[in-house]
Amino acid sequence: MKRTQPKGTLVSRPIRKFSWLFLLPTFLAFCIGFVWPFMQGIYLSFCNFNTPKDATWMGISNYVKVFNDAGFRNAFKNTALFAVVSIVIINLAAFFIAYALTQKMRGSNIFRTVFFMPNLIGGVVLGYIWSMIFDGILAKYNTYLTANATYGFWGLVILVAWQQIGYMMIIYVAGFQSVPEDMLEAAVIDGANRWQTLFQVIVPNMMGSIAVCTFLTLTNSFKMFDQNMALTGGAPSVMANGAKINMTELLALNIYSTYNINKNYHGVAQAKAVIFFILVAVLALIQQYVTRKED
């Protein structure tokens, strides 16, 4: 029998009539939860506003203020540094833990369970737990977490590594398990040692997992907020060249605290948010592009 219509029409045509059921509810919610706030956000970044009702057009003055804001520049620097450090630490640790756990080893399931556990706990709660622990340790050396920026920065790195290593480890474990058995066997037959097998057979086969994990750690560190707020809240803050700097503040927290200065800063905070969005979007696109190319 000859097909009179392209494949799929039999299914697709009746669904079309049900777009109000299948598509519309989600689309409406999507407009409320994303599309409208996004567009309004772009508009308000050019305004001075307390609420959207009383917005007055300001042109680019908010953006000018952002670029003159030493606190924002510092938060940007912190975030970039934090992203680099945490990407390296988390991925290296997660990769090797996953590698070990996929070897023949007693208790590997228990370890997997334990390492993943912190992901079930919210960032605010984690922040409070770790600030107690860091302060407890540092008190033995007569100091405390917010005494200087170094403690706060590394404290956050440790917290985030502790939390995310387990998550990335799960992804790497899945990656290790998807390396074709016969390639491993071939490597053994060829007389490759453990390290050669790892770097010449396993790693090339796992570029997918590595890309996913790098992407996740990158966006996670750029969007970091809860942990930053609960652990140090940006403290300590110092006066430098007549401007105040919150030494351990990352970008997301900087945006949030700018908004809360007072109503004249709502527009500035929104402008920072737009810049932040562009930054995250560009990073994501570059990352996607690089990964595609390697595939």
Partner 1 sequence: MKKALTLLLTLAMTLSLAACGAKKEEAPAASAPAASAPAASTEAGSVYYLNFKPEADQAWQDLAKLYTEQTGVEVKVVTAAGGNYSDTLTAEMAKDAAPTLFQCGNAQGLKDWGDYCIDFTGTKVLDEMTTSDFNLVDENGAVKCIGYCYEAFGIIVNTALLEQAGYTLADITNFETLKAVAEDIHARSAELGFDAFSSAGLDGSSSWRFSGHLANMPLYYEFRDDGVTAQPATITGAYLDNYRNIWDLYINNASIATTSLPTATGDMSSGEFKEGKAVFYQNGTWEFAGLVDAGIPAENLAMIPIYCGVEGEEKAGLACGTENCWAVNAKASQADIDATLDFIYWVVTSEEGTQMMAKEFGPIPFKNAAESENVFFNDANEYMANGNYTVTWAFNHTPNVDSWRATVVTALAAYSADQSDANWEAVKAAFVDGWAYEYSVQNG
Partner 2 sequence: MKKAKEKYSLGSTLLTVFFAALSLVWVVPIFEVVNNSFKSNNYVNLDPFALPNAESFMGFDNYIKGMTFGNYPFLKSAWYSLFITVASVALILLLCSMSAWYIARVKSLGSKVFYYLCLFSMIVPFQMVMFTLSFTADKLNLNTPYSIPIVYLGFGAGLSIFMFLGFIRDLPIDIEEAAAIDGCGPVRTFFLVVLPMLKPTLISVGILQTMWVWNDYLLPYLVLDRTQYMTIPIHVQYLKGSYGTVDLGATMAIIMLSIIPIIIVYLFCQKHIIKGVAAGAVKG
Q: Which tokens is 132 given? A: 């107690």
Contact call for residues 41 and 270 (beta carbons, < 8 A): yes
Please state, as a whole number, how many other Cβ atoms lie within 10 Å of the Cβ of residue 216: 17
Residue 18 contact partner, candidates partner 2, partner 1, none, CB within 5 to 8 A by sort of partner = partner 2
Q: What is the DSSP string of 229-261?
A: HHHTTT--EEEETTEEEETT--HHHHHHHHHTT
Cβ-based nearer residue to partner 1, 136 or 180: 136
The reply to whether 205 sits near partner 1 by the rule CB under 8 A is: no
Q: What is the three-state SS of 95-108?
A: HHHHHHHCCCCCCH
77-82-85 Cα angle (round to 5): 125
Contact with partner 1 (CB under 8 A): which of 135, 137, 157, 287? 135
Residue 21 Cβ vs partner 2, minimum distance, rounded to whole Å? 7
Cis amide leading into 236 (omega within 30): yes
Residue 259 near residue 265 (C-beta atoms within 8 A) = yes
- Which residue in 24, 88, 92, 243 binds partner 1 (CB under 8 A)? 243
Q: Choose between 74 and 164: whose C-beta lies nearer to partner 2.
A: 164
Look at residue 31 and give the partner it binds from partner 1, partner 2, none, a contact being a CB closer than 5 to 8 Å depending on partner kind: partner 2
Cβ at position 39, least distance to partner 2 in Å = 9
Exposed / middle / buried, residue 237 (Cβ in 10 Å: 0-12, 13-18, 19+): middle
Residue at token pair 């409406």: 28
Nearest-approach distance from CB 242 to partner 2, in angstroms: 27
Task: Tell me which of 51, 56, 103, 193 binds partner 1, using CB under 8 A.
Answer: 51
* In the complex, least distance from residue 70 CB atom to partner 2, rounded to whole angstroms: 20
- String of contacts with partner 1 for each residue 10-29, x by CB under 8 A: --------------------
Asked if 56 is part of the footprint of partner 1 (rule: CB under 8 A), the reply reads: no
Binding site for partner 1 (CB under 8 A): 50-51, 65, 135, 139, 142-144, 146-147, 235-239, 242-244, 260-265
